[in-house]
Structure 1
């Protein structure tokens, strides 16, 4: 197969088997300490060989794969899946993901009514509670 070798840089291999979308994301993950090979944090230029265990923590999920074939050229998804054995834990269910309220860009500051509904949604106590009594 073209691009198949005995060893390769870990960032190139991660990108080649489609664990990351770009090579720069793979390199940044290595530099940030999010990639481990056989339990050791590695730099982007670290050499990976068949049989190595690669742990990649990205986007809130940890991927654990064992290298079965070393490639340096990006390949299609079916071929990429043959290059490693996936031992990752299952992804968290969709329900556990926290949803974030999104306002339309340029909508400005929320109105008082919108702020009250946001506070109610987040479980905050109502603003402007009982203050000191008015003397008169």
Structure 2
């Protein structure tokens, strides 16, 4: 087990990023934080530290459990960190992939004005959930 490990190599080894260069780019772009401050790719990770990692729309909070120097399979990678992401944040991310399919029966023709308004109201309510808060 390693005593010193760079954050970019750690994030790559636990499979949060597909390549090490993507992990380095995320650090440079300020998408990897510790206690709310951006950290460099060369930051040395220690067991017990907590990091906030943003990947596109997904945000994760992870706690380092074990240092891995090489990329391992997914089953072992999960054991190297503890996911502290709140369940509602995870559910919000997953719900983005379960949008309603607005399908019409084949051969019914173009929607009427009333149909169009109902479709628009449905899609506005579904996709603008954040504005209701």
Q: TM-score range by the shorter chain?
A: 0.5 to 0.7
Runs of 4+ residues over 3 Å off in structure 1: 92-96, 120-123
1:59 matched to 2:56? The reply is yes
Count of matched residue positions in the alignment of Structure 1 and Structure 2:
112
Structure whose alpha-carbon radius of gyration is higher? 1
1:31 matched to 2:24? The reply is no
Provide structure 1 residue ranges, at least 5 long, that are not aligned to the other structure.
100-112, 124-136
1:8 matched to 2:2? The reply is no
Query: Given that residues 57 and 93 in structure 2 are in contact (C-alpha distance below 8 angstroms), is that contact kept between their aligned partners in structure 1?
Result: no
TM-score by length of 2: 0.67
Aligned to 1:79: 76
The one-character-per-residue Cα deviations of 1:36-75 (angstroms, maximum 9, x if unpaired) are: 1243210111111101101101120111110011112101
Cα distance in 2 between the residues matched to 1:94 and 1:67: 22
Higher strand share: 1
Cα distance in 1 between the residues matched to 2:93 and 2:36: 29
**1:93, distance to aligned residue in structure 2 (A):** 4.6
Cα distance in 2 between the residues matched to 1:78 and 1:24: 23
Aligned to 2:38: 41
Cα distance change, pair 66–96 in 1 and its aligned pair in 2 (3 A): closer
Query: Given that residues 53 and 60 in structure 2 are in contact (C-alpha distance below 8 angstroms), is that contact kept between their aligned partners in structure 1?
Result: yes
Higher helix share: 2
TM-score by length of 1: 0.65
Provide structure 2 residue ranges, at least 5 long, that are not aligned to the other structure.
100-109, 111-115, 122-133
- CA root-mean-square deviation: 3.1
